[in-house]
Each structure stands twice: as structure tokens, then as C-alpha cells.
A = this chain, B = another copy of it.
Amino acid sequence: MEDRTVELRIPARTELIALTRLVVSTLALTRRELDEERVDDLKLAVSEAVTNAIESYGTDVEGKAVTVFWTEQSDKLEVRIQDVGKGFDLSRLAAHPPVTDSARLQFERGLGIPLIRSLVDEALFEPSEDGTSVCLSMYCGSLSYTGDPAAL
């Protein structure tokens, strides 16, 4: 599998999140099985996860990086987002109140993880004291290239 992984490592700077989106959507678009809507879904989910990864460093971003791994498996695309930030307790994330005009408006934050969960087929969060790894999967049957496989 090693040789099927594309790895992008960026300094923890928010202006580089757009680059991770570009790379992931470019790679996803070369796959016949993902239509544009699913590519957009994956792109947004990755963007949210990279945002969280950068924010895991707080203001202490000097020398810190976030790594995005893109791996193609026989039946799915997998994107792993990794930071070495402070981690978090998944079970303690605030639950959002049911959607009603008044209560819902309290939540300007905390939309990222719920979004991620509903956008991809599988989202695995692995926070630890040494950082967090988030693994996002999109199932797509057997994979094949849209490009012509002719090689020199």
C-alpha cells in the first residue's frame, strides 16, 4: 500500500488549507467512481479536519506541521489527517440541541466534526496525547483511473 500513498505535509498555517483541498479534490477527480458531489463532500470533510489539526496547536504553531495521507485501496479512498497537537476527548464534545431557531443559534462553533461525520462514509478519530489522527473513507467499489493508463 505504501506505494499508493500520496503524502502532503504543510506548515500549520491556515492559508495552506486551500492547498490540501486542491490536492485532495484533484486526486479524487481522477477516479471514475466518485461523482462531483462526493468529491465536494470529501473536500469539505478534509478541510474541516485540517482546520482542526492546525487549531490543535493553538497559537504555538512555530515549527508545527499537519500531514495529509491519500491512499487508494481496492474498494475505498482513504484520507488520513495527522497532527502532533494536544489531542482531545471525543466523548466530551458538546452535543448540539435539536434544530430550533433559538437554541441552534448558540452554536457558532462545533460544526466541524458533525459535518465530517455526515459527509464521508467513515470517519475515525484517534486523538492521543501525542496528537490526533483522523481517518476519512469514501467507499467506491473497484477503482480505476479516468486518465488513459498509457505510460511511456
A30 to B, closest residue via Cβ: B15
Spell out A's residues near B (CB within 8 Å): 2-12, 14-16, 19, 22-23, 26-27, 30, 61-65, 145, 147, 151-152
- Is B19 in contact with A11, judged by CB distance below 8 angstroms? no
How many copies the complex holds: the figure is 2
Report how far A15 CA is from B152 CA in the complex, Å: 11
Distance in angstroms from A57 CB to nearest chain B CB is: 11
A11 to B, closest residue via Cβ: B3
Report how far A19 CA is from B10 CA in the complex, Å: 15
Residues of B within 8 Å of A63, CB to CB, are 2-3
- Is B14 in contact with A152, judged by CB distance below 8 angstroms? yes
Residues of B within 8 Å of A6, CB to CB, are 8-11, 16, 19
